[in-house]
Amino acid sequence: MVIFLSILWNNIIPLSVMIAIGITLHRVFSLDIKTLSKLNFYLFSPAIIFKLLYTTEVTLKSAMTVLLFFVVFMVLMYACVEAVIRLRGIAGGRRGAMRNSVLFYNSANYGIPLNELVFASNPYTLSIQVLIMMLQALLPNTYGIYSVNAHRISGKEIIRTILKQPVIYAIPLGFLMRGFHIPIPYALSVPLDYSANAFIGTALVTLGVQLGSMKFSVHSFMVKEVLISCTMRLLLGPLLAFAVVWMLGLEGLMAQALIVSSSVPTSLSSVLLAVEFDNEQEFASQAVLASTVLSIVTVTLVIFVLNV
């Protein structure tokens, strides 16, 4: 019960307040969601990724272990969601939206506070979560763009779009500058901090604006697919993480941190992708909202089973 209330108070309620602010602002002022999406994609998201990579202590051994886990885990998750897509006959842009809602999870503004809560701000487990967040930031800006556009534009256009994403340059730059101990000039560090700190709030307001613009004409097929997405993200995700951790022989805090990181709800990046590339915005928004609410129960269950 204590963990349940902590997740509710520290994660769900703050997220819900920001989403509600976005809904209200849109209803009053009719905010331009495309502008908000571009701010997240091209400014705030790369800023927070760069800052966390630059400031977090990460060992090479931890990085390689997390990378191996992530690759195996994502391959298994992709195989499962692809099987569901084919069994249900999901077609067109909905295929990409379904994949994104399962494969991209909220490792930043949900995963990092959750990691600090569960592991009492342990620097080692935090570094693991930051690595997961970095990999999760890279995926939407590469595979995610391909996934929502593959059915309508050519491969060359997709590559050009991916190469325009600042995140794919912010990640190696953050590693290199930290590795070579290159200081950031004060004139740049201040705007970097401002931009990084704006990411979570702006992303949540963007989700609220998208939800506020929807008429919520609920179709039975969408309800079923949202529930399928939530089941795979919140239940299948941790189960597969358990399996991968066991396969790789990982134990202790490393294993626990990786499993907890896999249990969080669908990422806001799936909504940002849907908005930016005009692909199944309603489904993406409902998947994020539903998985975030349901995660109160499922994440608490995962932490209880791990006995952290």
Give the CATH number for residue 106. 1.20.1530.20
Say what the pLDDT of residue 72 is.
97
Q: Into how many domains does the chain fold?
A: 1
Say what the pLDDT of residue 92 is.
79
**C-beta separation of 95 from 151 below 8 A:** yes
Say what the pLDDT of residue 170 is.
92
**Amino acid letter, residue 77:** M
**C-beta separation of 21 from 143 below 8 A:** no
In percent, how much of the chain has pLDDT > 70? 94
Residue 266's beta-bridge partner residues? 105
In percent, how much of the chain has pLDDT > 90? 39
Decide: helix, strand or coil at residue 181. coil
Residue 167 CA to residue 269 CA, distance in Å, equals 12
Least confident among 143-157, 167-181, 244-258, 290-304 = 143-157
More confident residue, 113 or 233: 233
Helix (H) or strand (E) holding 148: helix 145-149
Residue 124 CA to residue 214 CA, distance in Å, equals 41
pTM above 0.85, yes or no: no
**Does the pLDDT at position 293 exceed 90?**
no
Residue 243 CA to residue 229 CA, distance in Å, equals 20
Picking from 233, 198, 213, 26, the residue whose alpha carbon sits closest to that of residue 111 is: 233
Say what the pLDDT of residue 218 is.
54
Mean pLDDT of the chain: 87
Can you give the residue range of the structural domain that contains 98? 2-306
Distances (CA, A) of 77 to 70, 103, 106, 146, 193: 10, 7, 15, 17, 34
**C-beta separation of 72 from 244 below 8 A:** yes
**C-beta separation of 54 from 184 below 8 A:** yes
Say what the pLDDT of residue 29 is.
92
Which long-range contacts does 212-218 make (Cβ < 8 Å, 24+ apart)?
212/22, 212/23, 212/24, 212/25, 212/26, 212/27, 213/26, 213/33, 214/281, 214/282, 214/285
More confident residue, 255 or 59: 255
**Does the pLDDT at position 217 exceed 70?**
no
pLDDT digits (tens, 9 = 90+) for 13-71: 787 888 889 889 999 998 988 888 889 888 998 998 899 889 888 888 889 999 999 99
Query: Who's near 58: CB < 8 A, 6+ residues apart?
Result: 127, 130, 131
pLDDT digits (tens, 9 = 90+) for 87-129: 998 887 788 889 999 999 988 778 887 888 788 888 899 899 9
HSE on the CB side for 181, CA within 13 Å? Answer: 0
**C-beta separation of 144 from 100 below 8 A:** yes
Say what the pLDDT of residue 216 is.
54
